[in-house]
Structure 1
């Protein structure tokens, strides 16, 4: 499939998640089968562009294309300026955030709150498209089904956004009111797909190869976007790709492979964040990797007290070496594992809140 003139490797996408989908994580998911990954949201507030947090989010060094950057804000002129800022720093696709449900973001009328102000939402889209067009950079947009169950306006907005020049739409199958609770619904995504000609991406509760197949069939979407299910399990993309191509399941990864993947991920993570922040922000990733593994919770508690990168690497290496003595492969995933992980999903909301 294509986003404007840009060809994508496949139809398996990594969702933008604040505090999670930084450059090392995006590159890891791409390595393991994702065809496309969108950055954490970058604020449109110019006064924050000089912050360490924003400079890290705008750092795409060594990242394979296409480089897609999500921007968030409530002012059309500021969003246009943020478009120029990120294109100057390598963005090849600009994605507009109208899907974030974090309370602090929505209280400022950003993220999914923009769906409640349709004229402002359209004004922002027009400003971003106009700013990106001279550079030949396509604009995409991620939204929810609506603000609440009785305010589902994704279909109307999708038509408006397509008319304004948006070249791909991603729809999370929940309202803002739901947050990440309850089950995602796909009827609205199917209705959006039927209403527009641009590619539509289905997001929400894509937790397994079978679920990816079923969501694609139910919605008619051009692609699926995986969020929480990739946390600690970035190889889900190759599992889905194999299943969609063959109808059979790929064997779970070897413990030795996961050990190497995580150690390499941690090295890249430290390189981006430095030792002090790196060892602390890596804890959530390590926790996600081990949460369903034997002794994982005890290891997680012990690891959270480590404040040195070398000690953290050594602890992770020792844990997986010990694990390999008792099993060859990581246990097969169960959808219940993600349900057990639901509390951790609020990491996205907490991180988004901290970012704004």
Structure 2
């Protein structure tokens, strides 16, 4: 049984990675329906939280059907991290996660996210301060290192465990790699094999199929798998992987009715939650995967990423469902 503190996640949990403008409540609800064992919010700026910035505070919205859930924060200042941890605790998530892995320049240049990988002592100091500031179990998501010449993930894992984190998620790339190249899970395996490590170790990076999930579980010995980009517009990946683990057989992909239903509910809830403009804009990145591989779908997808009015978009989804009613996905 994999546990984060007192929270039980089953024998081998699958987690939805925190992704900015992706892992919001409308999308998290779909992933939960499809078997995701635990999800994280979009990452939240601690500076935004302590200044009560609307964009940051709204990300603390948690709905009962989403639990268990972790709230992820990022920042670089000790006092701000501690104060933000207290604010997060009031939202009552199951877990507080610290982002030490985001490679985006505007985050890194502030020594937050993956920027902290250049100063491991500071990373440990910030983590210890957060652990001491909250009753919530604290976890960390990070990368292998800043670049190929500074991979210190084994040392990082030991030191973060020593200051009290309850689980560690590792993306198998360096910051220098961004999202390019192949994720190297061999370093994640070394962390898991370290006899000093007793907290759960979750692997992240490049898992995009049931076969690959099973291969990496067996090859690298992790306690669970975190899935990010492969879930965008395809929440069914969680149920497909679980089915494959349980039966050894590939599950039939979702039919057109399931896809349109998911896209429709996603869009409607996004508009309700984020408003008529942002809700429409931030749903667009999902359409490619919702309707991937369908012949002639390009004309519909073009409408989906240009139209702005909800009734017009819903009408396009109806057209798609009608045209492809007999289409068989492979």
TM-score class, shorter: over 0.9
| CA deviation vs aligned residue, 1:39-97 (integer Å, no higher than 9, x gap) | 11010104775333213211113443222100000012211111111111222210000
Q: CA deviation at 1:8?
A: 1.7
Match of 2:92 in 1: 90
Match of 2:142 in 1: 143
Match of 1:153 in 2: 152
Question: Distance in 2 between the 1:218 and 1:118 partners?
Answer: 28
Partner-residue secondary structure (3-state), 1:150 = helix
| CA deviation vs aligned residue, 1:155-182 (integer Å, no higher than 9, x gap) | 1000000000000000001011001000
Question: Distance in 2 between the 1:310 and 1:287 partners?
Answer: 20
Aligned pairs (5 A) from 1:194-205: 194-195=193-194, 196-205=197-206
Partner-residue secondary structure (3-state), 2:55 = helix
Partner-residue secondary structure (3-state), 1:193 = helix
Question: Distance in 2 between the 1:6 and 1:101 partners?
Answer: 29
Match of 1:212 in 2: 213
Aligned-CA RMSD value: 1.5
Match of 1:346 in 2: none
Question: Distance in 2 between the 1:201 and 1:94 partners?
Answer: 16
Q: CA deviation at 1:263?
A: 1.1
Q: CA deviation at 1:113?
A: 1.3
Relative to the length of structure 1, the TM-score reads 0.88
Q: CA deviation at 1:245?
A: 1.1
Q: CA deviation at 1:310?
A: 1.5
Match of 1:16 in 2: 18
- Residue 312 (structure 2) pairs with residue 314 (structure 1): no
Partner-residue secondary structure (3-state), 1:283 = helix
Match of 2:116 in 1: 114
| CA deviation vs aligned residue, 1:248-285 (integer Å, no higher than 9, x gap) | 11111121122112211212111111112212222222
Partner-residue secondary structure (3-state), 1:175 = coil
Question: Distance in 2 between the 1:56 and 1:12 partners?
Answer: 25
Question: Distance in 2 between the 1:52 and 1:317 partners?
Answer: 34
Question: Distance in 1 between the 2:49 and 2:163 partners?
Answer: 28
Task: Give the paired residue count.
Answer: 326
Question: Distance in 1 between the 2:66 and 2:51 partners?
Answer: 23
Change (3 A) 1:222 1:292: same
| CA deviation vs aligned residue, 1:283-312 (integer Å, no higher than 9, x gap) | 222233224322233222222221111211
- Residue 168 (structure 2) pairs with residue 169 (structure 1): yes
Question: Distance in 1 between the 2:313 and 2:17 partners?
Answer: 27
Question: Distance in 1 between the 2:27 and 2:276 partners?
Answer: 17
Match of 2:285 in 1: 284
Question: Distance in 1 between the 2:299 and 2:321 partners?
Answer: 14
Question: Distance in 2 between the 1:81 and 1:91 partners?
Answer: 16
Within the candidate set 77, 80, 88, 1:78 is matched to: 80
Within the candidate set 15, 31, 34, 2:36 is matched to: 34
Question: Distance in 1 between the 2:193 and 2:41 partners?
Answer: 28
Q: CA deviation at 1:190?
A: 0.3
Question: Distance in 1 between the 2:255 and 2:51 partners?
Answer: 41
